[in-house]
């Protein structure tokens, strides 16, 4: 075998590439696929990488892993508490935290620390290491630390000390000495909280409560599942894009088989040919990936503010609004695109390497193997679906401790299996159709048979369409169902018209004052605290305790998922000593009505039996609900809130504002009052919760729509690329006297049929996907299950969308068929 | 005389602001060279200043640095030897004219910084801990009548009234209780003065170099100790003797001084010796041939003091051992010819390293030769690998 010289390689490559000069549509399609795949994927990854960087910065912040100490009675901590605890030998450190408002309505978090007592003060300061650093920090004019991405905003604030740049600080956060923070936030001797290193095991005076950070809402885990969601969407987009690439490459090879044989016959070594094809792939890949990554970053920049807002409101984690991309992000994006391209191109290279030089006359002979290929696909697809079924059964039988990764595996198996089964199913469908079509409808018969013949080229685009449609359907139903359930639940839980959180010392006064007002129908006091859960004599960590007043109005609306002997009996049990638990705790600990659990309270062990399980959407923690009186006596819970239910007379808004005014005057309450009590209007609360919700799924929706759009494009480009070849196949019909108008209709009909078939298959698949999302993914990610809602309107919409895409995709080639002069058509047909 | 520790106050900066950076810096003698520069805005210790008690037991916030420094040699009933250290340091982060707080400053604002070290040397081990605090919030401080010096739950405070054995200045300084605890150790000891306070140098002004800079320096070397030390939860009754140093100054080291060796020795004759050597000073004046500056005090059993000039004193390392990656002299020859003293001073064990934010060696020593005895030795500025 001769060795390839560079000039042979160059000539071969130029010859191969010349194909794209004649078929620019194929080149465009190839690049489009690569571009789309890599843009969506790298966009999602950019968001993830940027958010992850923000988390890392947040986690490296001192307060992230320290235990917190607060007063049991809820009163504000002061410098004197700090001094007394220190002098008692407790290694606590004070922290002052507050918001500094910017003129544009945004705000920055200001954290005042006491560096001398802060446990392991090290992460606080990657300092430049001069001995004056502490002096600068502790005495005028002091210093304030800020991350580079927050510097510009911070400059807008007045009275701040000179800046020190600290890249490791979380975004929108300022850190300074406690003396400065106390002045800027007007705290005088008051402090926000005390912190202590988690490993310091000390005995606290009874007046204080210690909370460990892992019993607080853990944004890490929740945010992880959010990012996993994003990643899954990105992966879906990548797969869809690669389907396009695969289709384009297959087509490009098929049409160049003759060319390849000619080259081989001219003496180009097989290796050189493969090398040239590989180089071609690499060239395309680099171009596509570059385009994709650049537009991915642009996409991420568009989506990031939404993502940041979502994460902020959902999980209370601050994510920078600006992209910060580490170097490995760029490499990773390139690698995944090229990897995807080569996996899509591998079969092309394989086939090209086995070209029979003498097989010149048998172009497209491989189609003969179509049947066998379909059978293999069906077999594989069936196996994947069976695997998905088994996984589902397994996950359902091990309720409680479900793995999110397994959940996504299930979804992937489901989608891939269905995609593989699609071509054989469509082929079967067409076979049936052909058998039952009236013999005389020859044109229709031909149409069906021709569509069967087209399946191999169409199947990849159809698979992409199937995936996009079912994902769209599944995610849409999940979000819609979530929305319905969540809003409903909000209505039930936010029963009172007004929520008041008075200062501890005012609580009783305010309660009796409210009780005497005629416009107040019922008062619903509530308290919060936490206790250690003891399961099987082992400490199972802290759980939240929620105290409610089991009044009739509450009993009527409070939703319960599971009870032992019905709704009424459950409430009866609650008032006589049993407890309700939320769904999260029930799943996590495998508890149900009738089971019992133990709590370590401040006055010893308390044994409770579970009377009911209630839904608690949006709460990451396990929670136990008890009558509020027990929380006060047995668990020493601080005074908490008062829910005010208005009597159903008169104008609600007016009554409410009058009551608010009277209360504020009498008790010095305000909407935002860090030291004293506060008032929250239920309507405002609902609005905030709804906003949070809408934001959560804004990105999901956006990505979903993009994926569907990409699938439509895939179909369109596939058809465009085949249009010319198709014209040759239509020639005999035209020659037989079938009018061009009828040919166009036939083509559109064929495509609509294929897309309709795909869409019909997408409906059950979408429903299965919804089921997997609400019953498996949601439970694993958030700890609660959603009821399955089906939205017929949405299904109809999806099917219509598929048909519209099909018509659009068929229209352009059809339009060209009509416009091409008969002379040119004749030429083309003669060539065929 | 423990200037080094005054420097460590500044080094707190590095500790708190970036732990990892410090060790690299600490090994280079030049790292604290800059601290030798005087600051004209701080008052200087001057000869002719008279000490007043009980006021001078309390803080002197205008001066840059100050400490309350206790070391004790203890023995348990079973004969096991223990050593204790309890030190409270104060540093002014700004000269007096800048110490005034502005009107809008909060109770957290302060120009004073406090740091404390506590250590317990056991027959084979060395346990230590350190604490930091800002001034002004009550977490650390010193008051005089009755006397109390504290940081967190560590304290050195008056137990009762003075008596004639000590100074009788009304502060209760003659009967003190010292407490401290750290990981795996703690102690609670009563101190009873069996002799008067001694003023080093000229009436308490201790000159540190030929050009006249120095510090105010007095000691109570006559404490009898009784109490309990705790090691890993085990309480051990102990008795022994302790030495308390008080010193304040605004002038830090000369630029070429690399470290120092400081001795406080209880001799069996009842006499006490305080002696130090500043290594690598400038070449002028009283320094001896290797550039070190030597000084000390000979204290009779009655508490009468004789200042020792550089030529009255000889301090010579005899043996080095590797401790914490550094070559440290753990055996010395100490000579004071005028008082017929020629002894060998030996560390009870080499492992008495203070791995605090500013690391140094401080531990109990034995004395043998012309006199028998025991005491404490502090060595700083020995470079690591």
User: Considering the domain boundaries, does residue B105 fall inside one?
Assistant: no
What letter would DSSP give residue A518? T
Domain of B352 in residue numbering reads as 3-94+111-379
What are the two backbone dihedrals, phi and then psi, of residue B186, each rounded to the nearest 5 degrees?
-175, 165
Nearest to A188 among B16, B35, B106 (CB): B106
Q: Is the pLDDT of residue A122 over 50?
A: no
The DSSP result for B244-280, as a single string, is: EEEEEES----TT--EEEEEEEEETTS-EEEEEEEES
Report how many domains make up chain B: 1
Is B258 or A100 the better-scoring residue by pLDDT?
Answer: A100
| Chain B CB within 8 Å of residue A85 CB | no
Contact A633, A602 (CB under 8 A): no
B103 lies in a domain? Answer: no
Q: How far is B56 from chain A (nearest CA, A)?
A: 24
A541 phi-psi bin (left φ>0, alpha ψ -120 to 50, beta other): left
Residues of A within 8 A of B230 (CB-CB) are none
Q: Which of B11, B19, B113 sits opposite A122 (nearest CB)?
A: B19
CB atoms A87 and B134 under 8 Å: no
| Per-residue model confidence (pLDDT) at position B22 | 31
- Cα–Cα–Cα angle for B302, B304, B307, rounded to 5 degrees: 145
How far is Cα of residue A118 from the mean position of the Cα atoms in its chain? 36
Asked, for residue B106, whether it belongs to a domain, the answer is no
The pLDDT score that the predictor gives to residue A132 is 55
Least confident of A69-78, A126-135, A177-186, B317-326: A126-135
Q: In the predicted model, is pLDDT for residue A57 greater than 90? A: no
Distance of CA A168 to the CA centre of its chain: 26
Taking Cα atoms as reference points, which of A54, A55, A49 lies closest to residue A325?
A49
3-class secondary structure, B158: strand
CA triple A196-A199-A200, angle to 5 deg:
55
Please give the pLDDT value at position B378: 94
CB proximity list for A106: less than 8 A, separation 6 or greater: A153, A172
Q: Which of B11, B13, B65 best probes binding to A when mutated, by most A CB atoms within 10 angstroms? A: B13
The DSSP annotation for A386-410 comes to: HHHHHHHHHHHHTTTS--HHHHHHH
Q: Which residues contact B384 (CB under 8 A, 6 or more apart)?
A: B23, B26, B27, B324, B325, B326
Helix, strand or coil, per DSSP, at residue A460: helix
Tell me how close the Cα of B20 comes to any Cα of chain A, in angstroms: 8
Packing angle of the helix pair A270-315, A6-22 (nearest 10 deg): 60
Q: B139, A87: Cβ pair inside 8 Å?
A: yes
Residue A166 near residue A147, CB atoms below 8 Å: yes
| Contact residues, chain A, for B138 at CB < 8 Å | 83, 87
Query: Is the pLDDT reported for residue B255 higher than 60?
Result: no
Which residues of chain B are within 8 Å of residue A87 when distances are taken between CB atoms?
138-139, 150, 152-153
Residue A431: per-residue pLDDT: 84
Q: Is-contact B274 B68, C-beta < 8 A?
A: no
CA angle A253, A254, A260 (to 5 degrees): 65
User: Can you give the pLDDT at residue A408?
Assistant: 78
The DSSP secondary structure of A52-118, one letter per residue, reads HHHHHHHHTSGGGGSEEEEETT-PPEEHHHHHHHHHTT---EEEEEEEEE-TTS-EEEEEEE-TTTS
Q: Is there a contact between A179 and B34 if contact means CB atoms under 8 Å apart?
A: no
| Window B:165-194, CB contacts with A under 8 Å | 181
Give the single-character DSSP code of B202: B
Of residues A145, A181, A178, A179, the one with CA closest to residue A162: A145
Report the pLDDT value the prediction gives residue B75, as an integer from 0 to 100: 97
In degrees rounded to 5, what are phi and psi of residue A729?
-75, -25
**How far is Cα B183 from Cα B131, in angstroms, rounded to an integer?**
12
Best mutation site among A84, A94, A179 for testing chain B: the one with the most B CBs within 10 Å? A179
Rounded to a whole number, what is the distance in Å from the CA of A177 to chain B's nearest CA?
Answer: 9
Identify whether B54 is preceded by a cis peptide bond (ω within 30 of 0).
Answer: yes
- Please check whether residue A32 is in contact with residue A716, taking contact to mean a CB–CB distance below 8 angstroms: no
* Residue A492 clears pLDDT 70, i.e. is over it: yes
A chain contacts of residue B35, beta-carbon cutoff 8 Å: 131
Q: A689 or A107, which is more confident?
A: A107
Which stretch of A568-577, A635-644, A746-755, B208-217 has the lowest confidence by average pLDDT? B208-217
Q: Is the pLDDT assigned to residue B374 strictly greater than 90? A: yes
* SS3 at position A176: strand
Write the ipTM: 0.87
Segment A570-592 mean pLDDT: 87
CA-to-CA separations, A795 to A425, A429, A758, A767, in angstroms, rounded? 21, 21, 13, 10
Over residues B176-199, the mean pLDDT reads 94
Mean pLDDT value across residues A123-141: 59
3-state helix, strand, coil in chain B (%, to 5): 10, 50, 40
Residue B56 has pLDDT above 90, yes or no: yes
Convert A694-704 to b/e letters by CB count within 10 Å (16 or more is b).
ebbbbbbeebb
CA dist B279 and B293 (Å) reads 7
Q: Is some CB atom of chain B closer than 8 A to the CB atom of A79?
A: yes
Residue A2 has pLDDT above 50, yes or no: no
Of the pLDDT bands very low, low, confident and very high (cuts 50, 70, 90), residue A696 is: low
For B28, phi then psi, to 5°, come to: -95, 120
Distance (Å) of CA B166 to CA B50, B198, B269: 18, 10, 20
**Chain B closest CA to A535's CA: distance in Å?**
32
**Angle, nearest 10°, between helix axes A370-397 and A442-493?**
20
Asked if B16 reaches chain A (Cβ–Cβ under 8 Å), the answer is yes
Pairwise CB contact (< 8 Å): A87 & B150? yes
Q: What is the pLDDT of residues A450-469, one digit of tens each?
A: 888 778 777 777 887 888 88
- A83 pLDDT more than 90: yes
Q: Looking at beta carbons, which residues of chain B come within 8 Å of A121?
A: 16-17, 19
From chain B, the residues in CB contact with A127 under 8 A are: 14, 17-18, 21
Measured distance CA(A208)–CA(A728) in Å, rounded: 85
Using a CB-CB cut-off of 8 Å, the residues of chain B touching A140 are: 102, 105, 109
Residue A775 to residue A769: CA distance in whole angstroms: 10
At residue A582, φ and ψ (nearest 5 deg) are -80, 165
Predicted confidence at residue B178, as pLDDT, reads 97
In the three-class reduction of DSSP (H, G, I as helix; E, B as strand; rest coil), residue B213 is classed as coil
By the CB < 8 Å criterion, does B28 face chain A?
no
Q: Which residues share a beta bridge with B343?
A: B334, B369
Asked if the structure places residue B100 within a domain, the reply is no
Distance between CA B385 and CA B376 in Å, rounded? 26
Sign of CA dihedral A414, A416, A420, A422: positive
Tally C-beta pairs within 8 A across A and B: 109
Q: Are B92 and B42 in contact (CB under 8 A)?
A: yes
- Write the pLDDT tens digit of every residue in B241-253: 999 999 998 875 6
According to DSSP, the residues that pair with B342 across neighbouring strands are: B335
Average pLDDT over residues B263-271: 96
pLDDT higher than 90, residue A488? no
- Partner A contacted by B139 (CB < 8 A): yes
Higher pLDDT, A578 or A657: A578
* Test mutation, B9, B12, B18, chain A, max A CBs within 10 A: B18
- B118 in A contact zone (CB under 8 Å): no
Pairing status of strand A520-535 against strand A538-548: antiparallel
Per-residue pLDDT tens digits for A495-510: 788 888 777 777 888 8
State percent of chain B over pLDDT 70: 81
- Burial of residue A217, with CB atoms counted within 10 A of its CB: 0-12 exposed, 13-18 middle, 19 or more buried: middle
Residue A397: C-alpha distances to residues A394, A402, A585 (Å): 5, 10, 18
On the question of pLDDT at B41 being above 70, the answer is: yes
Residue B287 is predicted with a pLDDT of 43
Is B124 within the bounds of a domain? yes
Confidence of residue B194 (pLDDT cuts 50, 70, 90): very high
pLDDT above 80 for B7: no
Band of pLDDT at residue B30, cut at 50, 70 and 90: very low
Backbone angles phi, psi at B345, to 5 degrees: -110, 125
Would strands A144-146 and A173-177 be described as parallel, antiparallel, or unpaired?
A: antiparallel
pLDDT value of position A370: 63
Query: Is residue B102 a part of any domain in this protein?
Result: no
What CATH number does residue B375 fall under?
Answer: 2.40.370.10
Per DSSP, the three-state class of A708 is helix
Q: Is the pLDDT of residue B148 over 90?
A: yes
Percent of chain A with pLDDT over 70: 80
A200 touches chain B (CB under 8 A): no
Give the range with max mean pLDDT: A198-202, A470-474, A763-767.
A763-767
Q: Is the pLDDT of residue A729 over 60?
A: yes
Three-state SS at B216: strand
Residue B385 is assigned to a structural domain of this protein:
no
Note whether A179 contacts B: Cβ–Cβ < 8 A: yes
**Lowest pLDDT segment from A193-207, A291-305, B70-84, B177-191:** A291-305
pLDDT of A64: 60
| Contact call for residues B260 and B281 (beta carbons, < 8 A) | no
Selecting from A116, A131, A187 the residue whose C-beta is nearest the C-beta of B134 gives: A116
- Cα separation, A82 vs B152, in Å, equals 10
**Residue B256 domain-assigned?**
yes
Q: Which residues of B touch A191 (CB under 8 A)?
A: none
- State how far the alpha carbon of A386 is from the alpha carbons of A407, A416, A426, A759, B67, in Å: 15, 12, 20, 22, 78
pLDDT surpasses 80 at B5: no
pLDDT score, position A440: 76
pLDDT category of residue A313 using cuts at 50, 70 and 90: low
Tens digit of pLDDT for each residue in A391-441?
Answer: 888 887 765 555 677 887 888 888 889 888 888 888 888 888 888 888 777
Which of A304-308, A613-617, B311-315 is predicted with the least confidence, judged by mean pLDDT? Answer: A304-308
Say what the alpha-carbon torsion angle B300, B303, B309, B313 is, to the nearest 10 degrees.
40
- pLDDT (tens digit per residue) in A210-248: 877 654 444 455 556 566 666 766 777 677 777 767 767
Phi, psi of B297, rounded to the nearest 5 degrees: -140, 135
Chain A environment of B98 (Cβ under 8 Å)? 139
Whole-angstrom Cα distance, residue A258 to residue A252?
11
Cβ(A143)–Cβ(A136) below 8 Å: yes
Q: How many Å apart are CA A513 and CA A490, to the nearest integer? A: 28
Residues A126-142 have a mean pLDDT of 64
Nearest-Cα residue of chain B relative to residue A126: B18
3-class DSSP state for residue A415?
helix
Q: What is the CA radius of gyration of chain A?
A: 33
Average confidence (pLDDT) over A702-731 = 70
Over residues A686-704, the mean pLDDT reads 68
pLDDT in tens, A755-766: 888 888 889 988
CA atoms A678, A681, A687, A693: torsion sign: positive
Question: Rounded to two decimals, what is the model's pTM?
Answer: 0.63
Percentage of residues of chain A with pLDDT beyond 90? 5
């Amino acid at each position: 075998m001769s060795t390839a010289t560079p000039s042979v390689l160059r000539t071969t490559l130029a010859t191969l590439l010349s194909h794209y000069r004649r078929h620019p549509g194929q080149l465009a399609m190839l690049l489009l696929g690569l571009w789309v795949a890599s843009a969506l994927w790298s966009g999602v990854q950019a968001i993830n990488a940027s958010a992850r960087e923000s988390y890392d910065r947040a986690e490296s912040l001192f307060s992230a892993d320290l235990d917190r100490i607060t007063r049991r009675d809820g009163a504000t901590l002061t410098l004197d508490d700090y001094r007394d605890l220190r002098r008692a030998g407790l290694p606590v450190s004070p922290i002052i935290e507050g918001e500094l408002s910017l003129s544009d309505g945004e705000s920055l978090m200001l954290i005042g620390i006491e560096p001398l007592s802060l446990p392991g003060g090290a992460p606080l300061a990657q300092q430049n290491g001069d001995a004056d650093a502490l002096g600068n920090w502790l005495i005028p004019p002091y210093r304030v630390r800020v991350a580079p991405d927050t510097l510009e905003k911070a400059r807008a604030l007045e009275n701040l000390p000179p800046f020190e740049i600290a890249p490791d600080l979380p975004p929108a956060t300022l850190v300074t000495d406690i003396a400065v923070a106390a002045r800027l936030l007007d705290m005088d001797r008051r402090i926000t909280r005390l912190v202590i290193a988690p490993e310091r095991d000390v005995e606290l005076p009874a007046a204080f409560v210690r909370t460990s950070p892992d019993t607080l809402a853990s944004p890490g885990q929740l945010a992880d599942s959010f990012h996993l969601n994003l990643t899954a969407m990105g992966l879906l987009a990548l797969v869809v894009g690669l389907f396009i690439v695969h289709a384009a490459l297959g087509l490009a090879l098929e049409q160049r088989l003759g060319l390849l044989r000619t080259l081989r016959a001219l003496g180009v070594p097989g290796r050189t040919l493969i090398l040239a094809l590989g180089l071609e792939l690499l060239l395309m890949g680099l171009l596509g990936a570059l385009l994709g990554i650049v537009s991915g970053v642009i996409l991420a920049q568009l989506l990031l503010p939404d993502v940041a807002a979502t994460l902020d409101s959902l999980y209370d984690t601050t994510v920078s609004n600006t992209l910060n991309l580490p170097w490995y992000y760029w490499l990773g994006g390139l690698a995944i695109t090229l990897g995807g391209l080569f996996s899509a191109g591998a079969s092309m290279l394989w086939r090209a390497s086995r070209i029979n030089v003498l097989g010149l006359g048998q172009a497209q002979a491989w189609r003969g193997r179509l049947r066998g290929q379909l059978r293999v696909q069906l077999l594989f697809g069936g196996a994947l679906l069976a695997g998905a079924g088994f996984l589902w059964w397994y996950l359902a039988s091990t309720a409680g401790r479900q793995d999110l990764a397994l959940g996504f595996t299930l979804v992937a198996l489901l989608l891939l299996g269905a995609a593989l089964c699609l071509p054989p199913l469509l082929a079967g469908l067409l076979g049936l159709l052909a058998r039952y079509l009236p013999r005389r409808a020859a044109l229709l018969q031909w149409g069906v048979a021709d569509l069967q013949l087209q399946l191999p080229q169409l199947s990849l685009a159809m698979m992409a369409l199937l995936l996009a449609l079912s994902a769209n359907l599944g995610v849409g139903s999940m979000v819609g169902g979530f929305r319905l359930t969540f809003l409903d639940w909000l209505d039930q839980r936010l029963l009172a018209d007004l929520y008041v959180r008075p200062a501890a010392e005012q609580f009783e006064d305010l309660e009796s004052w409210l009780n005497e007002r005629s416009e107040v129908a019922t008062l619903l006091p509530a308290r919060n605290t936490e206790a250690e859960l003891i399961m099987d004599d082992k400490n199972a960590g802290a759980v939240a305790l929620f105290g409610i007043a089991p009044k009739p109005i509450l009993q009527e609306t409070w939703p319960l998922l599971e009870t032992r002997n019905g709704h009424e009996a459950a409430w009866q049990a609650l008032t006589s000593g049993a407890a309700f638990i939320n769904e999260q705790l029930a799943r996590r600990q495998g508890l149900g009505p009738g089971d019992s659990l133990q709590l370590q309270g401040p006055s010893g062990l308390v044994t409770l039996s579970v009377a009911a399980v209630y839904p608690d959407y949006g709460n990451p923690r396990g929670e136990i609900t008890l009558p509020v009186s027990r929380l006060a006596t047995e668990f020493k819970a601080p005074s908490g809130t008062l829910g005010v239910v208005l009597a159903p007379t008169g104008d609600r808004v007016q009554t409410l504002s009058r009551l608010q005014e009277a209360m504020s005057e009498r008790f010095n309450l305000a909407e935002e009052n860090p030291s004293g009590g506060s008032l929250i209007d239920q309507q405002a609360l609902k609005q905030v919760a709804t906003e949070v919700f809408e934001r959560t799924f804004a990105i999901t929706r956006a990505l979903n729509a993009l994926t569907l759009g990409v699938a439509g494009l895939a179909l369109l480009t596939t058809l465009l690329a085949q249009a010319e070849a198709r014209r040759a196949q239509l020639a005999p019909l035209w020659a037989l006297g079938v009018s061009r108008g009828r040919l166009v209709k036939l083509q559109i009909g064929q495509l609509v049929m294929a897309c309709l078939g795909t869409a019909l298959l997408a409906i059950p698949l979408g429903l299965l996907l919804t089921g997997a999302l609400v019953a498996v993914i949601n439970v694993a990610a958030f700890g609660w299950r959603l009821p399955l809602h089906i939205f017929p309107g949405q299904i109809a919409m999806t099917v219509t969308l598929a048909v519209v895409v099909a018509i659009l995709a068929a229209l352009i080639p059809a339009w060209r068929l009509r416009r091409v002069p008969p002379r040119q058509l004749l030429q083309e047909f003669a060539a065929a | 005389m423990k200037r080094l520790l005054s420097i460590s106050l500044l080094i707190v900066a590095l500790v708190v602001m970036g732990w990892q950076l410090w060790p690299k810096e600490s090994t280079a003698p030049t790292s604290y060279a800059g601290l030798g520069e005087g600051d004209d805005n701080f008052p200087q210790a001057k000869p002719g200043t008279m000490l007043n008690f009980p006021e001078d037991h309390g803080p002197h916030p205008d001066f840059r640095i100050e400490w309350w420094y206790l070391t004790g040699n203890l023995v348990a009933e079973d004969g096991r030897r223990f050593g204790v250290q309890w030190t409270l340091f104060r540093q002014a982060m700004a000269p007096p004219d800048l110490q005034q707080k502005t009107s809008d400053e909060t109770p957290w604002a302060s120009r004073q910084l406090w740091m404390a070290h506590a250590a317990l040397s056991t027959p084979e081990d060395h346990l230590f801990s350190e604490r930091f605090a800002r001034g002004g919030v009550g977490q650390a401080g010193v008051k005089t009548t009755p006397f109390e010096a504290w940081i967190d739950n560590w304290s050195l405070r008056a137990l009762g009234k003075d008596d004639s054995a000590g100074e009788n200045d009304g502060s209760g300084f003659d009967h003190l209780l010292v407490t401290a605890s750290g990981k795996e150790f703690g102690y609670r000891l009563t101190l009873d003065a069996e002799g008067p306070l001694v003023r080093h140098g000229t009436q308490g002004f201790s000159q540190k170099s030929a050009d006249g800079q120095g510090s105010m320096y007095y000691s109570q070397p006559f404490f009898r100790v009784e109490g309990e030390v705790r090691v890993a939860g085990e309480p051990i009754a102990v008795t022994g003797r302790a030495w308390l140093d008080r010193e304040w100054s605004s002038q830090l080291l000369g630029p070429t001084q690399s470290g120092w060796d400081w001795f406080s020795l209880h001799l069996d004759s009842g006499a006490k010796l305080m002696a130090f050597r500043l290594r690598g000073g400038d070449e002028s004046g009283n320094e001896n041939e290797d550039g070190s500056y030597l000084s000390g005090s000979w204290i009779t059993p009655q508490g009468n003091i004789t200042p020792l000039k550089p030529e009255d004193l000889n301090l010579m390392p005899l043996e080095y051992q590797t401790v914490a990656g550094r070559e440290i002299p753990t055996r010395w020859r100490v000579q004071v010819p005028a008082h017929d003293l020629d002894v060998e001073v030996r560390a009870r064990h080499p492992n008495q390293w203070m791995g605090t934010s500013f690391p140094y060696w401080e531990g109990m020593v034995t004395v043998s030769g012309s006199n028998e005895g025991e005491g404490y030795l502090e060595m700083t500025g020995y470079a690591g690998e």
